[in-house]
């Protein structure tokens, strides 16, 4: 974590984001914005999304536990099926989705 008031940049930012995501426990989720804030990057939710999109598959972090602030998996053609995989992995961890593919974010949100 960078000193108070100083934001990480470049590889430091990626490392900070990955460190936060690595701590999200099984059966819990965090929002993109939440991860950014915890990584010392407030208001940089989109950066978290970009880092996850470009993440090397060899890096073993629970990427699927990062969700949008509406309590949904972000579905997009650009994810090449990663969105469907994410929902399947979350269901396997006990996250309960309704008929609109949403879950109760307040119930399943990780509060570190």
Question: Structurally, how many domains does the chain consist of?
Answer: 1
Q: Of all residues in the chain, what percent carry a pLDDT higher than 90?
A: 71
**pLDDT at residue 75, as a whole number:** 78
More confident residue, 51 or 5: 51
What average pLDDT does the structure give for the chain?
A: 89
Looking at residue 47, which CATH number applies to its domain? Answer: 1.10.10.10
Least confident range of 4-18, 52-66, 83-97: 4-18
Q: Partners of 109 in the beta sheet? A: 29
| pLDDT of 6 strictly over 80 | no
The whole-angstrom separation of Cα 41 and Cα 95 is 27
The whole-angstrom separation of Cα 20 and Cα 14 is 10
> Is residue 19 assigned to a domain?
yes
Is the overall model pTM greater than 0.85, yes or no? yes
> Is residue 77 assigned to a domain?
yes
The whole-angstrom separation of Cα 16 and Cα 26 is 20
**pLDDT at residue 4, as a whole number:** 52
The whole-angstrom separation of Cα 2 and Cα 77 is 35
If you average pLDDT over residues 64-88, what whole number do you get?
Answer: 86
**pLDDT at residue 49, as a whole number:** 93
> Is residue 108 assigned to a domain?
no
> Is residue 101 assigned to a domain?
no
CA distances to 7, 45, 80, 98, 101 from 17, rounded to whole Å, are: 12, 10, 22, 29, 26
> Is residue 80 assigned to a domain?
yes
If you average pLDDT over residues 93-108, what whole number do you get?
Answer: 95
Domain holding 67, by residue range, is: 10-96
**Of 91, 103, 112, nearest to 21 (Cα)?**
112
């Amino acid at each position: 974590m960078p000193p108070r008031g100083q934001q990480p940049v470049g590889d430091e930012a990626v490392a900070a984001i990955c460190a936060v995501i690595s701590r999200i426990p099984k059966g819990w989720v965090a929002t993109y914005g939440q991860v950014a804030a915890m990584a010392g990057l407030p208001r940089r939710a989109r950066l978290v999304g970009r880092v996850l999109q470009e993440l090397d598959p060899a890096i073993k972090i629970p990427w699927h536990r990062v969700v949008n602030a509406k309590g949904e998996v972000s579905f997009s053609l650009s994810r090449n099926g990663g969105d469907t995989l994410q929902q399947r992995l979350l269901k396997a961890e006990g996250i309960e989705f309704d008929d609109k593919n949403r879950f109760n974010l307040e119930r399943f949100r990780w509060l570190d």
